[in-house]
Chains A and B, each alone.
Chain A
Amino acid sequence: MKTTAEPGWLRWLLIAAALGFLGINLALPLAQVFAGALAKGIAVYRAAVVEPDAVAAMRLTLTVAAIAVPLNIVFGLAASWAITKFDFPGKAMLISLIDLPLSVSPVVSGLIYVLLFGLQGWAGPWLREHDIRIVFAVPGIVLATVFVTFPFVARELIPLMLEQGRSDEEAARSLGATGWQTFRRVTLPNIRWGLLYGVLLCNARAMGEFGAVSVVSGHIRGLTNTLPLHIEILYNEYNYVAAFAVASLLAGLALVTLVAKSVLEWRFGDAIAGGGH
Chain B
Amino acid sequence: MTVAVANLVKRFRDHTALDGVSLDVRPGEFLALLGPSGSGKTTLLRIIGGLDFPDAGTVAFAGRDVGAMAARDRKVGFVFQNYALFRHMRVADNIAFGLTVKPRGQRPTGAAIKRRVDELLALVQLPGLGGRFPAQLSGGQRQRVALARALAVDPQVLLLDEPFGALDAKVRNDLRRWLRGVHEAMGLTSIFVTHDQDEALDLADRVAVMSDGRIEQVDTPDAVYNRPATAFVADFIGNATRFDCRLADGVIEVAGVRLANTAPAAADGRGVAFIRPHEFALASAGEPGLAATVRRVAHTAARASVECVLADGRVVDVSAPLDVAAAAGEAVTLVPTTVRAYPA
Q: Is the CB of A174 within 8 A of B71?
A: yes
Contact with B along A107-124 (1 / 0, CB 8 A): 000000000000000000
Q: Which residues of B contact A175 (CB under 8 A)?
A: 72, 97-98, 101, 149-150, 152-153
Contact B84 A176 (CB under 8 A): no
A171-185 residues at the B interface, CB under 8 angstroms: 171-178, 181, 185
Q: Which residues of B contact A186 (CB under 8 A)?
A: 86
Asked if A170 is an interface residue, CB under 8 A from chain B, the answer is yes
Which residues of A lie under 8 Å from residue B88 when comparing CB positions?
A: 189-190
Rounded to whole angstroms, the CA-CA distance of A275 and B101 in the bound complex is 32
The answer to whether A170 touches B84 (Cβ under 8 A) is yes
Q: Are B84 and A168 in contact (CB under 8 A)?
A: yes
Q: Is B49 an interface residue (CB 8 A)?
A: yes
* Other-chain contact of A172, B49, B73, B101 (Cβ < 8 Å): B101
For residue A103, CB closer than 8 A to chain B, the reply is no
A173 and B72 contacting across the interface, CB-CB below 8 Å:
yes
What residues on A are CB-neighbors of B76 within 8 Å?
Answer: 174
**Contacts A173-B51, A174-B49, A185-B101 given: A168-B71 contact, CB under 8 Å?**
no
Q: How many residues of B contact A (CB 8 A)?
A: 29
Q: Return the contact of B101 from the options A176, A189, A190 (Cβ within 8 A).
A: A176
Q: Are A190 and B87 in contact (CB under 8 A)?
A: yes
Residue in chain B with minimal CB distance to A176: B72
Closest partner residue, chain A, to B73 (CB atom) = A176
Most buried by B among A174, A176, A190: A174
Encoded as 1 (CB less than 8 Å from any B CB) or 0, chain A from 144 to 178 comes to 00000000000000000000000110111111111
Q: Are A172 and B97 in contact (CB under 8 A)?
A: yes
* In the complex, chain A residues whose CB is within 8 Å of the CB of B152: 175
Q: A176-B72, A176-B153 are in contact. Are A185 and B97 (CB under 8 A)?
A: yes
Q: How large is the interface on A (under 10, 10 to 19, 20 to 34, 35 or more residues)?
A: 10 to 19
Q: A174-B51, A174-B72 are in contact. Are A167 and B97 (CB under 8 A)?
A: no
Q: Report the bound CA distance from A189 to B97 in whole Å.
A: 14
Cα–Cα distance between A175 and B86 once the two chains are bound (Å): 12
User: B87 to chain A: which residues have CB within 8 Å?
Assistant: 190
When distances are taken between beta carbons in the complex, the residues of chain A under 8 Å from B102 are 176
Would B101 and A174 count as touching, CB distance under 8 A? no
Determine if A171 and B80 form an interchain contact, defined as CB atoms under 8 angstroms apart.
yes
Whole-angstrom CA separation of A168 from B51 in the bound complex: 12
Chain B residues with CB under 8 Å of A176's CB are 72-73, 75, 98, 101-102, 153
Rounded to whole Å, the gap between the CB of B105 and the closest CB of chain A is 14
How many Å lie between the Cα of A245 and that of B120 in the bound state? 63
B77 at the interface (CB under 8 A from A): yes
- Report the separation of the CA atoms of residues A171 and B84 in the bound assembly, to the nearest whole angstrom: 7
Asked whether B78 is an interface residue with its Cβ less than 8 Å from the other chain, the reply is yes
For chain A residues 73-132, which have a beta carbon within 8 Å of chain B? none
Q: Which B residues are within 8 Å of any A CB, using their own CB?
A: 49-51, 70-78, 80-82, 84-89, 97-98, 101-102, 149-150, 152-153
List, sorted by A's number, 10 A–B pairs whose CB atoms are closer than 8 Å: A170-B78, A170-B80, A170-B84, A171-B80, A174-B71, A174-B72, A177-B98, A177-B101, A185-B97, A189-B89
A interface residues (Cβ-Cβ under 8 A, vs B): 167-168, 170-178, 181, 185-186, 189-190
